[in-house]
């Protein structure tokens, strides 16, 4: 009988993260879901195969607790989805050092702490694994009027790190990819006008959480794909429209 695989998901309390937690469970995975107040989330369906870990991913202690919980409860870590992230826009000259530290502590340091521990665990297991992180097409394809430069400085770090560790651990069977969603119908955009959001890609409309979940599941299971960026943005990365 094939052993049940275990996935760790960050930023899991709502939106894409909650969708991922439910979908991976439905696919037969054990799930370790984490966010600041994951224990209060009503979007994640109750299951003895989903364990919730409260904590700020910017704190190294949270990453340690998440990995220890996964190994103690389920015996392995076979996949990681770095979904936790902070995003806000400002003119470049108005970003403060405090803004940068807020963005980098979650987007870069949170990614770094947990991914290092997960890779270490995967190397010890000697059975490979998958790491998928959520970025954005804005890294390579800015949109005029969407002033996200310093946010992109931190998100760009995730993409650069992902490609480099994809190469570093390819021989160990650890695959590292990113999914770059455009506008997604999540609580992040609850106060933004939908008519405007629908114009931000050449294919009119807004992505659903399920579309992003499907992309992550695909990369998690694809045995020969590593170092890839999968844009799920209605073609926004293609250029002007």
Residues 27-36 have a mean pLDDT of: 97
Q: Which domain holds residue 148?
A: 6-235
Any domain includes 221? yes
* Inter-helix orientation angle 209-221/15-26, to 10°: 50
pLDDT over 70 at 189, yes or no: no
Whether 210 is covered by a domain: the verdict is: yes
pLDDT for position 191? 63
Average pLDDT over residues 163-168: 98
- Is 69:53 a contact under the CB 8 Å cutoff? yes
Report if residue 11 sits inside a domain.
yes
Work out the average pLDDT over 136-158. Answer: 94
Counting the structural domains of the chain, the total is: 1
pLDDT value of residue 119: 98
Query: Which single residue is written with the structure tokens 């045995």?
Result: 223
> Which residues lie closer than 8 Å to 165 by C-beta, 6 or more apart?
115, 119, 131, 174, 176
Per-residue pLDDT band for 32 (boundaries 50, 70, 90) equals very high
Reported as a single tens digit per residue, the pLDDT across 41-83 is 999 998 999 999 999 999 999 999 999 999 999 999 999 999 9
pLDDT of 91: 97
Assigned domain for 241 exists? no
From CA 128, how far away is CA 76, in angstroms rounded?
A: 11
- pLDDT over threshold 70, residue 1: no
Read off the pTM.
0.94
Q: Which pLDDT band holds residue 214 (cuts at 50, 70, 90)? A: very high
The sheet with strand 129-134 has its strands ordered as: 50-54, 30-35, 6-10, 79-82, 129-134, 174-181, 229-232
CATH (domain of 132): 3.40.50.720
Quick check: is 1 in a domain? no
pLDDT value, residue 241? 83
Calculate what percentage of the chain has a pLDDT beyond 90.
Answer: 85
């Amino acid at each position: 009988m094939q052993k049940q695989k275990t996935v760790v998901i960050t930023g899991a309390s709502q939106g894409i993260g909650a969708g991922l937690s439910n979908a991976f469970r439905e696919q037969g995975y054990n799930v370790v879901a984490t966010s600041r107040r994951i224990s209060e989330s009503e979007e994640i369906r109750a299951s003895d195969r989903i364990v919730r870990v409260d904590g700020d991913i910017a704190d190294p202690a949270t990453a340690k607790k998440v990995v220890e919980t996964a190994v103690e409860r389920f015996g392995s870590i076979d996949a990681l989805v770095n979904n936790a992230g902070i995003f806000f826009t400002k003119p470049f000259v108005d970003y403060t050092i405090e803004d940068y530290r807020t963005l980098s502590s979650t987007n870069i340091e949170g990614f770094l702490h947990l991914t290092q521990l997960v890779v270490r665990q995967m190397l010890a297991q000697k059975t490979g694994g998958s790491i998928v992180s959520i970025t954005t097409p804005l890294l390579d394809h800015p949109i005029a009027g969407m002033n996200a430069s310093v946010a992109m400085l931190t998100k760009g770090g995730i993409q650069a790190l992902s490609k480099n560790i994809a190469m570093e651990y390819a021989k160990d069977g650890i695959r590292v990819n990113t999914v770059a969603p455009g506008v997604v119908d999540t609580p992040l955009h609850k106060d933004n006008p939908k008519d405007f959001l629908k114009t931000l890609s050449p294919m009119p409309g807004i992505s659903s959480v399920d579309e992003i979940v499907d992309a992550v599941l695909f990369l998690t299971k694809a045995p020969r794909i590593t170092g890839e960026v999968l844009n799920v943005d209605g073609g926004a990365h293609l250029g002007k429209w």
